[in-house]
Amino acid sequence: MIEKMKLLNKYPILFALLIPVLLLNSCAEKESILITSDDYHNSVDKITLIMVHDIFSPPVASRIYAYPNIAAYEIIVQKDSAYRSLTGQLEGLTAIPKADDQTTNFGLAALIAHMDVSKSLIFSEEKVESYRDSLYQIWSAKNKTEFETAKAYGLKVSDHIKNWYDGDLYKQTRTMPKFTIDTDDPSRWQPTPPAYMDGIEPHWNKIRSFVLDSAAQFKPLPPPPYSLEKDSDFYKELLEVYEISQKITEEGDSSEEVVIARFWDCNPYVSVTRGHLMFATKKITPGAHWIGIVKIACKKSNADFNKTVFAYTKTSIGIFDAFISCWDEKYRSNLIRPETLIHQNIDENWKPILQTPPFPEYSSGHSVVSGSAATILTHIFGDDFSFTDDTELAYGLPVRFFTSFNKAAQEAAISRMYGGIHYRFAIEIGLRQGIEVGELVVEKLAMNK
Amino acid sequence: MIFSCNSEENKTILFVSKKADETGIHFQNTISSTPELNILNYIYFYNGSGVAAADFNNDGLTDLYFTANQTEDKLYLNRGNLKFEDITQSAGINNAQNWTTGVTIVDINEDGLPDIYICKLGAYHNISGKNLLYINNGPDKNGVPAFTENAAAFNLDFIGFSTQASFFDYDLDGDLDLFLLNHSTNPNQNYGNGNVRNFPNAASGDKLFENVNGIFVDVSEDAGIYQSKIGYGLGVSISDLNNDGFPDIYVGNDFFENDYLYMNQGDKTFKEVISSKANQIGHTTHYSMGNDIADINNDGYTDILSLDMLPEDLKTYKTSGSEFNYQIYQNYINNGYTHQFMQNSLQLNKGNGSFSETAYISGIAATDWSWSPLIADFDNDGLNDIYITNGILGATNDMDFINFIANDNIQKSLGQGMQEKDMAFIDQIPQKKTTNYFFRNIGNNQFADVTNEWADLNPSFSNGAVYVDLDNDGDLDIVTNNVNEPAFVLENTSKLNNYLTINFKGNPHNRFGIGAKAILYKDSIQMTRENYISRGYLSAIAPILHFGLGSISEIDSIQIIWPDKTFETLHNVNVNQVLEVLQKNADGNYYESFPGKTHQYLMNVAPLFDFKHRDNTTIEFNRDPLIPFAISNEGPKVSVGDINNDGLEDVFIGGGKRQASGLFVQQKDGTFAQQQPELFEKNALNEDTASIFFDANGDDYLDLIVVSGGNEFTRGKAILPRLYINEQGTFVRDTLNFLGSYSNASQVKAVDFDQNGTLDICVTTANLPQFKGDRPAQLFFKGVGDGNFLQFSENDVSAFLFGGSCNDVIFADVDGDGVEELITAGDWAPISIYAKIKDELVLQSHNGLDDTHGWWNTLEAADFDNDGDIDLVAGNWGLNSRLQASPKEPMTLYRQDFDNNGKEETLVTFYYQGEETPFASKDELVKQLPGINKKYLSYKDFANASIEDIFGKEKLQTARKKQVFELATCYFENVGQGMFEKRVLPFAAQISTVNDIYVEDFNNDGFLDLLLVGNNFEISTQLSRLDASHGVLLLNDTCGNFFQPKGQKFDISGAARNIEKLHYQGDDYLIITRNNDQPIFLKIN
């Protein structure tokens, strides 16, 4: 930018000569750039694909969804009085710069800001750039002035949002100590097969939340006390995981429970060994699945651009805080996974239907996130909202039909027990925990007028 | 550079590649993936096949048999002049079905004709093979032998997953038994508990068969052989490792399973010593491939070489899968596995049951994806060299493939079974075509890479190989079996040196004398060879021993020792001939006739008192994953003194965190009584790192000061020096001194530095607690009488207090002015001498020690060359790791906030092949600095970037830096006027860290000798494990040079920390403390 300014100062005459030409060109193309909700869906989908490629853990992925949506949302509220700014409602968010020109195409600026904030958060920037540049070319050809104005504004807001997220302690948590495995206490989490990865994001509860007053605001009840006594609650729950898994494995791949478990797997990095070959199969995260459901709901309800941005934003805020709430509990209770205990005490050769993800068991992340997202979506689109969920189609999984968001959340939650990676209490309490986060978001955030 | 053209022309290649058209050997192991069998359903699809050498038609020329995995095996008759004839069909060999692996030779029917035993994959997917035995019916009139397959007749038609077989006489009953190496076919996941190795599995488990009147009977269980499904056996070698006449077995297991070292107990059983975690072998190869056993240093004990897949090339290294991080690695040790690292391992046989792994310092640690090591004297200079085959058609450890390529292609076809179209996916697996290695033995247990000097090889996928004198010219030619390329035949054109070849004529049950040894003597040189033929990988050499003799033209004598322990000594043997030896000429019992007696300077004895140091697993790699080593396991040290003035020496030994230190009082009856445990229990939380007995108050009773560290606490009483006043034999804690003097202490010393008649106290520290990377301050207290201490005036001693990291401090008058200097050694610090000038300590420079920055652990001062001045010897990190350092190419520690998050990161770099590179892997770096992924998401891009690209030139320049220029343990000779000359101590001193040095004239020649102890286990898993030291005794040659005496049997395995002498029952003993273990006690003879 500075370079350009210098250029202007140095060659005022040259620019004076150029300006009429530019004006001439723009006069010839008066057509306005029309931005639809599909454009926004496409941008979100593109970021999802890149996230899968780049490999982000579920909590980190939730952060990559949230901030770009908020950037877009804050732009559309500048123009659309139906929505209210989140300034002052989200911790540390100050008012974004006003647009200099009220004729700015705010939808276009919102989309540009979404792409630009997203780009800063993912790794493979060149993938966003090539997508962005192809759009830029189209828009520029259609109406250069309108495009340049919107772009300048979008990027300005993007910078504002980047400054804001920079203070959320994400970077600082990178240098904090890794999670230390306690090998002496049998109830404590241990790394799980096959990759025995370190526990991920042990400091995620230190990340600045959006709406929660603290990571522990919805601290769930502690899990049943660890015990391997046959009549203890804990052992019964452990045995239930094993027995259900045995039963549905016998029934085979077509069993409804196996289908459900696989459908909601949402594991961004599954380490696969075939023969001598090791590789990762990568899917979307739990948060990304619910972002996919936002798209389905928007499309089914013919949501306009602004409502689309609103729905994504509110849901991604709920998902983000749900992860903070859940991760706070995970590293508090630091509970061992069923797989480890089943290997040690019940069946050495047992393998869960899903690969156990690398962090403590309690509470179930997918349950918390699903509870939160479904609560917010129900608030936006209503409880009586049936939909066909084809989010996982790209990953070789079938479509499923749900009569409501809450039904989908309940299935997502119980899928973790079918998958052999969670106890029932982690699911039931986790779902409750998520609903509480979602309700808080609904209650506290005044977004619609 | 100017002369490169000339030297190119003058370059004499030792091995000349013979073209297939010249030799007639067109064999190649052609591999083709099918939907039924491929790398996705058979883990060893790319492992290649073998070759065997034997004279099948008794015409004096060694013939060759090649196995092919999927296509037809080939048998070639040697027709002389390196011309071969394919007689596969006419000889009746027909092995083209199913999946073939290794091949070996045995005279199964004792007719003097070599028979062929072939390993095959049994029932697996579409495969239904069984092992084959082609019995040699003898040659026809054209010299073409005919074979008949009849494994069943000997119970050798094994159906399972066989890798390779080795015939040997395990019970010394005269006939040949069989060790059959098998491999698991399970994908390497979900490995669970190591105790799975105790449960037999019929198809995958290794087998020992006893030859009972010509029928092979499975005796695996009785003999103590592991036969489980986690045995991924890829290499087996037989050798008498402990020279007791009974053959021992080394098995290399791929993946997570331990290698097995079976020591023959002489009663038809074996004791496996690796899984018992007895410290005899520190660590082994992780992804073990082939192995070979031979004596590489002519010390009469055979050494073990096992191969792995560590890339030599830095870029390949960075794009390949690396070792687990410390915590995950510990988890896997806790699951019942022993220490294994991705590197070749050379286990130098100490001759006392222990081995030192020296692959890094020996120069052979990294040879890429390697298969066959062959140890033999290729240049006939009398020292065994090494040939290593490598390369793989599908390198499945490519990190970009694992993370980024595989996904898009395979996601949907998984779980549906492979189709023809999915074969395209397999084609995307990166190939690693690499050049086989030649290493020349340059003596001193070290090797030079002479790949380009000795041969002109193209990159290949090479697997099984043999050395064999194909043209009977007295040097060893090499034949290598390749995937998808004709076999290599390398003619050895060595002319310069003498040789001797030995042919064995054994008793009828073992006509080729398998298991016989030959020991050749010339002056002080002794060379030992063993006649075992299954060597390297999937292959078998001819049953002939070869000696390169260099310029030796007369051999003093040769001893031939047969498997039944009888022996024959031959004198005046001519060189450059084939010597035929006959078992019927041998008699006696070699092992009783030559028991071998050497004076033992030191002897292990049972512990004199009961104390086991406990230290917890370090969490420093969680706190800071980028550091090279932890500093949390420094203790214990031991102090010796007579505390009750009864004329008997007593012992104080430090406890770990949450373990009380112990005071053990020697009784007249030779027992030790623990005194005042309750007193030391009060400070059990302290991790005590050093202590001394000294008289603090002049009452002639030894008082005690104890200091603590362990990098666990940043401040507080757990790191406060503790003074215990001895009140006529009873200790009372002094509570007035050292208040607030927190120190993450490394050492404590007492000295009357101000020469006022009272002892002063020096407490050193190497690192600020929890690794802040800054210079820690030292503490120096002046004894002011009555057991009271005050800090020295800071002005007087500030040079020392703020001089930097200090692991040890000594006081010695090195400049001969009658006043002692203060000398320190520490981490990232030079050996520093502070002289007292007036009342002030002044750091000396330009004294030959300026560029000695190292990771120093310990210092000693004495007049070693008896020239009247004081020399120094200092223990360092050693040279047996991936790390190297010199003033030109130092190791550097950068402290910098690389990602601007307000917190500094630690970056440690070193030079590798001329390029500065971080030692931490990309995966570890991005956990701290995720921004790196923005610039270099792919491992390939990361590998191609310089550290300036990655971390930013300015960030590096403005970082706080510390450096290391020297990693060797060194002797510094005082050459007068306070000047020192550095001399690197011998190989044995460099194979691990040296943590303490004990000085004594062990051989009573008036010159001081050295005992070095060391090892550090808490180091980054990227750096393997420093465990090779078993205690090093170095004698002084009276000129201040040091050498290792032969045949010493004492053993100091484990993480040794400190040596102190103890007078006990009229003799002198050494107590050697070990971290997290019992002390070792040695008696000085």
Interface contact flag, B187 A275, Cβ < 8 Å: yes
Which of B190, B334, B933 is opposite residue A351, by nearest beta carbon? B190
Query: From the centroid of its chain, how far is CA A398?
Result: 21
> Looking at chain B, which residue has its C-alpha nearest residue A177?
B623
Residues on chain A touching B327 (C-beta within 8 angstroms): 178, 180-181, 191, 198
Q: Is the pLDDT of residue B361 over 50?
A: yes
pLDDT value of position A278: 76
Residues on chain B touching A392 (C-beta within 8 angstroms): none
How many CB pairs (< 8 A) connect A and B?
A: 131
Cβ neighbours, 10 Å, residue B221? 12
pLDDT value of position B773: 59
Residues on chain A touching B394 (C-beta within 8 angstroms): 276-277
A65: closest CA of chain B, how far (Å): 17
Sheet holding B638-641, edge to edge: B638-641, B650-653, B662-666, B672-674
Which of B403, B622, B929 is opposite residue A180, by nearest beta carbon? B622
Interface contact flag, A279 B902, Cβ < 8 Å: no
pLDDT value of position A194: 85
DSSP run (H or E) holding B640? strand B638-641
Interface contact flag, A180 B928, Cβ < 8 Å: no
Residues on chain A touching B625 (C-beta within 8 angstroms): 178
Interface contact flag, A194 B190, Cβ < 8 Å: yes
Q: How confident is the model at residue B9 (pLDDT cuts 50, 70, 90)?
A: very low
pLDDT value of position B712: 81
Q: How far apart are CA B282 and CA A219, in angstroms?
A: 47
- Mean pLDDT calculated for residue range B634-655: 97
**By the 8 A CB rule, do B35 and B419 touch?**
yes
- Segments of chain A scoring below 50 in pLDDT: 1-27
Interface contact flag, A281 B407, Cβ < 8 Å: yes
Q: Is the pLDDT of residue B191 over 60?
A: no
pLDDT value of position B411: 55
Which of B191, B622, B905 is opposite residue A178, by nearest beta carbon? B622
Tens-digit pLDDT profile for residues B17-50: 999 999 999 999 999 999 889 988 899 999 999 9
Of the residues A185, A279, A337, A350, the best mutation for testing chain B's interface (the one with the most B CB atoms within 10 Å of its CB) is A279
Residues on chain A touching B121 (C-beta within 8 angstroms): none
Residues on chain A touching B621 (C-beta within 8 angstroms): 178
Residues on chain A touching B187 (C-beta within 8 angstroms): 273-276
Q: Is the pLDDT of residue B832 over 90?
A: yes
Q: How far apart are CA A78 and CA A96, in angstroms?
A: 9
pLDDT value of position A175: 86
pLDDT value of position B683: 96
Q: How confident is the model at residue B445 (pLDDT cuts 50, 70, 90)?
A: very high
Tens-digit pLDDT profile for residues B456-493: 999 999 999 999 999 999 999 999 999 999 999 999 99
Query: Exposed (0-12), middle (13-18) or buried (19+): which is A184, by Cβ within 10 Å?
Result: exposed
Tens-digit pLDDT profile for residues B505-564: 999 999 999 999 999 999 999 999 999 999 999 999 999 999 999 999 999 999 999 999
Tens-digit pLDDT profile for residues B748-772: 999 999 889 999 999 999 988 766 5
Secondary structure class of B7 (helix, strand, coil): helix
Which of B192, B396, B397 is opposite residue A348, by nearest beta carbon? B192
Interface contact flag, A279 B402, Cβ < 8 Å: yes
Which of B330, B396, B934 is opposite residue A277, by nearest beta carbon? B396
Interface contact flag, A183 B187, Cβ < 8 Å: no
Q: How confident is the model at residue B418 (pLDDT cuts 50, 70, 90)?
A: low
Residue position matching structure tokens 């190591």: B194
Q: How confident is the model at residue B426 (pLDDT cuts 50, 70, 90)?
A: confident
DSSP run (H or E) holding B15? strand B15-18
A235: closest CA of chain B, how far (Å): 21
- CA nearest to B364, candidates B350, B383, B343: B343
Residues on chain B touching A179 (C-beta within 8 angstroms): 622
Residues on chain B touching A196 (C-beta within 8 angstroms): 324, 328, 331-332
A192: closest CA of chain B, how far (Å): 9
> Looking at chain B, which residue has its C-alpha nearest residue A192?
B190
Tens-digit pLDDT profile for residues B591-633: 998 877 889 999 999 999 999 999 988 888 888 888 899 999 9
**By the 8 A CB rule, do B648 and B636 touch?**
no
What residue type is assigned to position A235 of the chain? Y
Q: How far apart are CA B998 and CA B1081, in angstroms?
A: 14
In the beta sheet, which residues pair with residue B979?
A: B976
Pick one of 1.10.606.20, 1.10.10.10, 3.40.50.1370, 2.60.40.1240 as the CATH number of A180-444: 1.10.606.20
Domain boundaries, given as residue ranges, for chain A: 1-30, 37-171, 180-444
**By the 8 A CB rule, do B703 and B696 touch?**
yes
Q: How confident is the model at residue B190 (pLDDT cuts 50, 70, 90)?
A: low
Which of B40, B622, B928 is opposite residue A277, by nearest beta carbon? B40
Q: How confident is the model at residue B412 (pLDDT cuts 50, 70, 90)?
A: low
**By the 8 A CB rule, do B854 and B965 touch?**
yes
Interface contact flag, A123 B928, Cβ < 8 Å: no
Secondary structure class of A165 (helix, strand, coil): helix
Which of B191, B321, B930 is opposite residue A174, by nearest beta carbon? B930
If interface means Cβ-Cβ distance under 8 Å, which residues of chain A face chain B? Answer: 53-55, 123-125, 171-172, 174-175, 177-181, 183, 190-191, 193-194, 196-198, 271-282, 343, 348, 351, 395-396
Two tokens, residue B578 = 């084939």
B496: closest CA of chain A, how far (Å): 46
- CA nearest to B653, candidates B143, B26, B1073: B1073
pLDDT value of position B248: 98
Q: How far apart are CA A292 and CA A444, in angstroms?
A: 24
Backbone CA torsion sign across B462, B463, B467, B473: negative
Q: How far apart are CA B394 and CA B407, in angstroms?
A: 17
Interface contact flag, B900 A123, Cβ < 8 Å: no
Two tokens, residue B1060 = 């102190």
Higher pLDDT, B421 or B97: B97
Interface contact flag, A276 B43, Cβ < 8 Å: yes
Interface contact flag, B331 A272, Cβ < 8 Å: no
A300: closest CA of chain B, how far (Å): 28
DSSP run (H or E) holding A370? helix A365-381
Interface contact flag, A277 B394, Cβ < 8 Å: yes
User: What ipTM was reported for this prediction?
Assistant: 0.84
- Mean pLDDT calculated for residue range B889-898: 95
